[in-house]
Amino acid sequence: MTDQAVEHEVGRSRLRKEDARLITGQTNWTDNIQVAGLLHLAILRSPMAHARITRIDVSPALERPGVVAAFSGADLAEGLGSLPCAWPVTEDIVLPDHPPVAVDEVRYAGDPVAVVVARDRYAAADALEAIEVDYDPLPPVLDLEAALAEGAPLVHADKGTNRCYTWPLATGGSFESVRQRAEVTVKRRYHQQRLIPNAMEPRAVVVTPLAASGEYTVYSATQIPHILRIMLAVVTGIPEQKLRVVAPDVGGGFGSKLQVYGEEALALAVARKLGRPVKWTESRSEGYLATHHGRGMIQDIEVAATREGKLLGLKVDLLADMGAYLMLVTPGIPLLGAFMYPAIYKMDAYEFNCTGVFTTRTPTDAYRGAGRPEATFAIERIMDELAAELGLDPVEVRRRNWIRHEEFPYTSIAGLTYDSGNYEAATEKALALFGYDDLRAEQRERTERGAPVRLGIGVSTYTEMCGLAPSRVLRDLRYAAGGWEAASIRMLPTGKVEVVTGTSPHGQGHETCWSQIAADVLGVPFDDVEVLHGDTQAAPQGMDTYGSRSLSVGGEAVHRAATKVVEKARKVAAHLLEASEQDLEFTNGVFSVKGSPEAHKSIQEIAFEAFTSHDLPDGVEPSINAETLVDPENFSYPHGTHLCAVEVDTETGRTRIRSYVCVDDVGRVVNPMIVEGQVHGGIAQGIAQALYEEAVYDAEGNLVSGTMADYLVPSAADLPDFVTGRTETPAASNSMGVKGVGEAGTIASTPAVVNAVVDALRPLGVHDVRMPCTPERVWRAVKEASA
């Protein structure tokens, strides 16, 4: 019998296949690409938030050494359409034109106004200085509420309003009626500051044209090569079949590379105009202006409850900062949160209303969690406020409201059907790991003696919807595309296996995890599996990677495609072994006849038989390869309980996370090591929002935190160790029982940390600290409360 892998791959902490090239410096980042005759693109950007361009002259740039071409917006307008928004959330949404290079008006500091193409990056950057532009300043639009007032200056004058859309949702009874009978109501306003995603690899794009055939290869640091191909065809008019899009090694995304960027279209347009290969790489500071931001919302939230702390209803009014233009999914981001405000809690009424507002700032769009961190923050913060109002323990108030494990599947008040979960189990485990009672005792002791350094405990019992997404749900939300994922499996004659996936990893480890899944189903060695991705020529179908979808949709597709391979192989095996299909067993990659184990064929032998086709049954095609597309029937709903203990120095405002414990339930786990890593990174980004990061604009609309020196991406010295635990309630919505994990940590952690900070200061009369909870803000909150 052939020596086959017998140990199950799924569930093992396999070390990553990706690592070898990454730790030896043999990576293929987009900016590494060098081709003969490569030209470098540099972009002149508006220094003003809002202005009319009264004159522009790019010709002086042409005099500079090494410069090959220079173009204004008008020069490029022909053959370069508006950048796409694929999520027009309402019928009457205001959809402004979004030229990749502004023609007559700039609408945020950083809006492109002209481009230079030169022989090297230094020459291109130098020549930008020679371009002459006259601006006639217009008033900036920065305040979300003022922007909606009558007579406010307009971001898009031709649209007559700064209101992009209003999207309402009302489910259950009316909030007003439950409010009437409520014994307690709590209303708060929370600010979701703007965040800058900061994937470590700056964006880059390289376009190589084949002039004779009109074909173009676009290499881009993108999360979405497949969507990008379609959209670039639409924007440039180049036929889709003439475009090949490649996402080489991509250095993180967090949503910021889930985008169709002007620079991608520009590089393609310029390569087409000049018939030469073109590269553009952003500098980090340029990226702070030009790569979309996340969050940026004002949340008015109100809960109505009984004296016992039982929730009756919830009302949420959102103002969401769209920025200056609508990018790929800008308007839809708040809607991904709309369904999550009720979270894990039962109630009778829910009202939600979101108004998208244009401002003269960098456009917003998806950033890790996209809508769900905001929703989770608001509900988990106000649950603490409700607990404080009622004098209850924050964990107890949650316990009185959450869906009990025996109630699953449970349709939430917002209309989502949560397929599985066990909030009790995750919370109990987290409380035990955390040492909740001891920390509470220490907190009381510090409070009683009026210690200058207080202890706060924050809890966050989150769930989220991910695994985007059922195509029919996306249709109902007016999203322009579907949510399926593709996989195919090629059984090579030499016994090796190629898995082709439509997901597009950028740090998640799909090469490793998809190999584990395929190896298990096919019974072949892990090392014999190669995963191909991120190239529309190698992996022609896909919906790419975002929204914690890759495993529950794309991994599921790999699983099903592999299962199909086994079924196709079974027919051939039955023929070769002269047995009926029902009489065959398939174990560890080997078909054998029940009762006569000496008669067997490995799946690799079957693959070779299919290749030679010398002895296939009649009517059977000469291949056991298989492909499949999976369109999930439901979202994936990971959940968990995060607990944070923070020491707060009331004299300096300094905070220090003393311990952080989480228990996440992400269903069945393919690779525990990778899951733990995803949770760590997610928590770090959520803590960053709670304590460190904010995109700050001045009154003129300039991005003040415009470099990495001014925007605090936390370092190792700014973050603690995390204790991670898991419970495992299999998802019912896919055959593997898996849920998403990429965003869970970020969604859960921000409210846990802020709840802890506020909890430390509550005895001093503090009820909120605006994010990020910097020492200055904490100090001011203490001073104001004691005044």
Helix (H) or strand (E) holding 487: strand 485-491
User: Residue 121 interacts with other proteins (CB under 8 A)?
Assistant: yes
The CA-atom distances, in angstroms, between 446 and each of 70, 177, 442, 456, 763 are 66, 43, 6, 10, 11
In whole angstroms, what is the distance from residue 198 CA to residue 225 CA? 20
Sign of CA dihedral 767, 769, 770, 776: positive
Q: How far is the CB of 446 from other proteins (least distance, A)?
A: 23
Angle between helices 744-761 and 775-786 (to 10 degrees): 40
Helix (H) or strand (E) holding 132: strand 132-137
Stretch that binds other proteins, among 232-240, 500-508, 569-577, 690-698 (CB under 8 A): 500-508
Smallest CA-to-CA distance from 490 within 604, 601, 615 is with: 604
Q: How far is the CB of 404 from other proteins (least distance, A)?
A: 23
One residue of 719, 732, 764, 785 binding other proteins per CB under 8 A: 719
In whole angstroms, what is the distance from residue 165 CA to residue 88 CA? 9
Query: For the window 150-189, what string marks contact with other proteins as x by the rule CB under 8 A?
Result: ----------------------------------------
Residue with smaller CB distance to other proteins, 96 or 252: 252
User: Residue 674 interacts with other proteins (CB under 8 A)?
Assistant: yes
| Ramachandran class of 735: left when φ > 0, alpha when ψ lies in -120 to 50, beta otherwise | alpha
Q: How far is the CB of 751 from other proteins (least distance, A)?
A: 18
User: Residue 673 interacts with other proteins (CB under 8 A)?
Assistant: yes
In whole angstroms, what is the distance from residue 277 CA to residue 40 CA? 9
User: Residue 685 interacts with other proteins (CB under 8 A)?
Assistant: yes
User: Residue 29 interacts with other proteins (CB under 8 A)?
Assistant: yes
- DSSP of 10-22, one letter per residue? TTS-PPPTTHHHH
For the record, the structure tokens of 336 come out as 């991904």
User: Residue 147 interacts with other proteins (CB under 8 A)?
Assistant: no
Chain centroid to Cα 375, Å, comes to: 15
Stretch that binds other proteins, among 379-387, 419-427, 501-509, 757-765 (CB under 8 A): 501-509
Residue with smaller CB distance to other proteins, 281 or 602: 281
Cα angle value 344/347/352 (rounded, 5°) = 85
Stretch that binds other proteins, among 80-88, 134-142, 155-163, 199-207 (CB under 8 A): 199-207
**271 to 330, contacts with other proteins by CB under 8 A?**
283-285
One residue of 1, 20, 157, 538 binding other proteins per CB under 8 A: 20
User: Residue 435 interacts with other proteins (CB under 8 A)?
Assistant: no
In whole angstroms, what is the distance from residue 736 CA to residue 716 CA? 35
Q: How far is the CB of 531 from other proteins (least distance, A)?
A: 16
Stretch that binds other proteins, among 75-83, 148-156, 172-180, 246-254 (CB under 8 A): 246-254
User: Residue 701 interacts with other proteins (CB under 8 A)?
Assistant: no
Q: Verify cis geometry, omega within 30 degrees of 0, for the bond prior to 239.
A: no
One residue of 433, 453, 477, 599 binding other proteins per CB under 8 A: 433
In whole angstroms, what is the distance from residue 779 CA to residue 648 CA? 10
Q: How far is the CB of 452 from other proteins (least distance, A)?
A: 23
Smallest CA-to-CA distance from 70 within 122, 107, 134, 113 is with: 113
In whole angstroms, what is the distance from residue 88 CA to residue 164 CA? 10
Q: How far is the CB of 362 from other proteins (least distance, A)?
A: 18
Residue with smaller CB distance to other proteins, 598 or 721: 721
One residue of 612, 707, 735, 786 binding other proteins per CB under 8 A: 707
User: Residue 429 interacts with other proteins (CB under 8 A)?
Assistant: yes
Query: For the window 588-617, what string marks contact with other proteins as x by the rule CB under 8 A?
Result: ------------------------------
Smallest CA-to-CA distance from 359 within 90, 196, 167, 162 is with: 162
Give the CA count within 13 Å in the CB-facing half-sphere of 431: 15
Give the CA count within 13 Å in the CB-facing half-sphere of 459: 25
Query: For the window 735-764, what string marks contact with other proteins as x by the rule CB under 8 A?
Result: ----------x-------------------
User: Residue 772 interacts with other proteins (CB under 8 A)?
Assistant: no
Q: How far is the CB of 747 from other proteins (least distance, A)?
A: 15
List residues bridging with 293 in a β-sheet.
364
Residue with smaller CB distance to other proteins, 21 or 189: 21
User: Residue 692 interacts with other proteins (CB under 8 A)?
Assistant: no
How, if at all, do strands 655-665 and 723-726 pair? parallel
3-state secondary structure of 133: strand
Stretch that binds other proteins, among 9-17, 43-51, 137-145, 387-395 (CB under 8 A): 9-17
**56 to 115, contacts with other proteins by CB under 8 A?**
none
Q: How far is the CB of 368 from other proteins (least distance, A)?
A: 10
For the record, the structure tokens of 671 come out as 């690779």
Contact 179, 313 (CB under 8 A): yes
Contact 369, 466 (CB under 8 A): no
For the record, the structure tokens of 569 come out as 């192989």
One residue of 7, 78, 97, 120 binding other proteins per CB under 8 A: 120
User: Residue 25 interacts with other proteins (CB under 8 A)?
Assistant: yes
In whole angstroms, what is the distance from residue 116 CA to residue 53 CA? 18
Sheet containing strand 132-137, strands side by side: 105-106, 51-57, 132-137
Q: How far is the CB of 200 from other proteins (least distance, A)?
A: 4
Q: How far is the CB of 37 from other proteins (least distance, A)?
A: 15
Q: How far is the CB of 693 from other proteins (least distance, A)?
A: 11
One residue of 323, 334, 373, 509 binding other proteins per CB under 8 A: 509
User: Residue 35 interacts with other proteins (CB under 8 A)?
Assistant: no
Q: How far is the CB of 606 from other proteins (least distance, A)?
A: 34
User: Residue 399 interacts with other proteins (CB under 8 A)?
Assistant: no
Stretch that binds other proteins, among 92-100, 248-256, 492-500, 763-771 (CB under 8 A): 248-256
One residue of 680, 767, 770, 780 binding other proteins per CB under 8 A: 680
User: Widest CA span of the chain, in angstroms?
Assistant: 90
Q: How far is the CB of 51 from other proteins (least distance, A)?
A: 25
Stretch that binds other proteins, among 249-257, 491-499, 597-605, 625-633 (CB under 8 A): 249-257
For the record, the structure tokens of 649 come out as 């120095």
Query: Three-state SS string across 71-117, please?
Result: EEHHHHCCCCCCCCCCCCCCCCCCCCCCCCCCCCEECCCCCEEEEEE
User: Residue 251 interacts with other proteins (CB under 8 A)?
Assistant: yes
User: Residue 537 interacts with other proteins (CB under 8 A)?
Assistant: no
User: Residue 213 interacts with other proteins (CB under 8 A)?
Assistant: no
List residues bridging with 146 in a β-sheet.
none
In whole angstroms, what is the distance from residue 517 CA to residue 15 CA? 14
In whole angstroms, what is the distance from residue 744 CA to residue 740 CA? 8
Residue with smaller CB distance to other proteins, 420 or 746: 746
Residues in contact with other proteins, counted by CB under 8 A, come to a total of 67
Smallest CA-to-CA distance from 193 within 361, 386, 380 is with: 361
Residue with smaller CB distance to other proteins, 565 or 670: 670
Position of tokens 């179908």? 541
Q: How far is the CB of 198 from other proteins (least distance, A)?
A: 6
In whole angstroms, what is the distance from residue 27 CA to residue 42 CA? 24
Contact 115, 508 (CB under 8 A): no
**631 to 670, contacts with other proteins by CB under 8 A?**
663
For the record, the structure tokens of 122 come out as 């230094």
Q: Which residues bind other proteins (CB under 8 A)?
A: 13, 15-16, 18-27, 29, 31-32, 34, 120-122, 198-202, 249-252, 254, 283-285, 429, 433, 506-509, 663, 672-674, 676-678, 680-685, 707-709, 713, 715-717, 719, 721-726, 745
